Amino acid sequence: MFRDRTHAGEQLAALIADHDIEADIVLAIPRGGLPVGRAVADRLGVSLDIVAARKLGAPWNPELALGAVASDGTVWLNESMIDESGVSERDIHEQIETERTAAQEKVTRYRGDRRPLELRGKTVLVVDDGVATGATTTACLRQIKNAGAERVVLAVPVAPPDTVERLRSEADEVICLETPTHFGAVGQFYESFTQVSDEQAMAYLEKG
């Protein structure tokens, strides 16, 4: 059980240091990943930026991920679930455009006047407050690889074992503090899991 996201980030940073990973950049997935990412970036002495994606939810259950799209348009689709759902290709493409725009607007709002960090040839550490299905995480990891990163490492405080195994095929390395078999939601592993506001998220970025 983590006290809050900053506490989780401090513990995660200690584990990353033990792995002797020489990251050039930390990218946090907003909004919940920013307090974690700030603690990790500060411990490693590197810059913090963001990478964002949005879930493609099923029409009858927005929490059920049919896929995800990153802010640059990188897409991951759960083809088997889409086939079972009967959602049309046209509807999927429309949702991709809607959610890509939303992800890009979030990145633009959070970065403000700051230019995105150059990822080509770098070792990039991707951080979030936890992972459940891994849909948006997968889209984020693929975006970073498409941007030319030499090595991509995912580091999170908590995730279910099957999700961690699946994400090992998307990242060069996955570091996870806790992999509980009984996993309901990320928030159940935090004493305090209050929503991070846009203002708080932007403040974490500006601290560096």
pLDDT means per 10 residues, the chain with 208 residues, are 96 93 96 97 96 92 91 95 90 96 95 90 98 96 97 98 97 97 95 95 86
Structural domains of the chain, count: 2
Boundary residue ending a domain (70, 86, 110): 110
**Same domain, residue pair 128 and 188:** yes
Whether 39 and 119 share a structural domain: yes
Identify the domain boundary among 110, 138, 153: 110
CATH classification of the domain holding 127: 3.40.50.2020
pLDDT at residue 59, rounded to an integer = 85
Q: What are phi and psi of 161, to 5 degrees?
A: -55, -40
Question: What pLDDT is attached to residue 110?
Answer: 93
Q: What is the DSSP letter of 188?
A: G
Residue the block writes with tokens 């927005």: 62
The verdict on 76 and 86 lying in the same domain is yes
Task: Say how far apart CA 40 and CA 43 lie, in whole Å.
Answer: 5
Are both 34 and 125 inside the same structural domain? Answer: yes
User: Do both 122 and 38 map to the same domain?
Assistant: yes
Which helix (H) or strand (E) segment holds residue 147: the answer is none
Q: Give me 8's structure tokens.
A: 């989780």
CATH label of the domain that carries residue 86: 3.30.1310.20
- Containing domain of residue 47, as a range? 5-52+115-206
Evaluate the omega torsion of the peptide bond into residue 31 and state whether it is cis, within 30 degrees of 0. Answer: yes
Q: What is the pLDDT of residue 63?
A: 82
Going edge to edge, which strands form the sheet with 53-58?
53-58, 61-70, 75-77
Whether residues 66 and 166 fall in one domain: no
Residues 62 and 98 in one domain: yes
Give the position of tokens 């963001």. 50
Note the pTM of the prediction, 2 decimals: 0.94
d(CA 43, CA 137): 23
| pLDDT score recorded for residue 12 | 97
Rounded distance between C-alpha atoms, residue 60 and residue 1, angstroms: 33
- Shared domain check, 100 and 45: no
Looking at the structure, do residues 103 and 192 belong to the same domain, yes or no?
no
- For residues 145 and 185, membership in a common domain is answered with yes
68, 171: one domain: no
Would you state the pLDDT for residue 208? 61
Last-in-domain residue among 64, 92, 110: 110
Same domain? 102 vs 189: no
Distance (Å, whole) CA 133 – CA 57? 12
